[in-house]
Chains A and B, each alone.
Chain A
Amino acid sequence: MAPLYYYLGLSVVMFSIGILGVLLRRNAIVVFMSLELMFNAANLAFIAFSRFYQSLNGQMFVFFVMTVAAAEVAVGLALMVTIFRTKRSIDVDQLNSMKG
Chain B
Amino acid sequence: MGNNLLFFVFAVVVVGTALGMALSRNAIYSALFLVLNFASVAILYVQLGAPFIAMAQVTVYAGAIMVLFLFVIMLLGAEQLAETEALPGQRVTALLLGTAFIVGATVVIVLQAGPTTPLPAPAGNFASPMDVGTTLFTKYTLPFEVTSAILLVAMIGAIVLTRSDKPREKGTPAAGKE
Contact = CB atoms under 8 A, between A and B. Distances in A.
A10 B6 CA distance: 14
Interface string A21-61: 10111110110111011001001100110111010100110
B172 interface: no
Given A70-B64, A93-B86, A19 B101 contact: yes
Contacts of A52: 119-120
A4 B139 CA distance: 26
For chain B, what secondary structure do more than half of its interface residues adopt (helix, strand, loop), or is it mixed?
helix
Nearest to B164: A85
A37 B18 contact: yes
Contacts of B119: 1-4, 48, 51-52
Given A48-B48, A73-B69, A20 B94 contact: yes
Contacts of A90: 76, 78, 81
Given A4-B115, A9-B109, A16-B105, 4 more contacts: A33-B31, A69-B61, A78-B162, A81-B162
Given A12-B106, A27-B78, A85-B178, A37 B37 contact: yes
Interface of A: 1-10, 12-21, 23-27, 29-30, 32-34, 36-37, 40, 43-44, 47-48, 50-52, 54, 56, 59-60, 62-64, 66-75, 77-82, 84-85, 89-91, 93, 96
B91 interface: yes
Contacts of A78: 157-159, 161-162
A70 B15 contact: no
21 contacts: A4-B115, A9-B109, A10-B15, A21-B21, A24-B95, A27-B78, A30-B22, A40-B37, A43-B57, A47-B44, A59-B127, A60-B136, A67-B60, A68-B147, A69-B65, A74-B158, A78-B159, A78-B162, A80-B72, A82-B161, A93-B87
B147 A73 contact: no
Interface in B120-142: 120-123, 126-127, 131-132, 135-136, 139-140
A77 B69 contact: yes
Contacts of B87: 93
Nearest to B118: A1
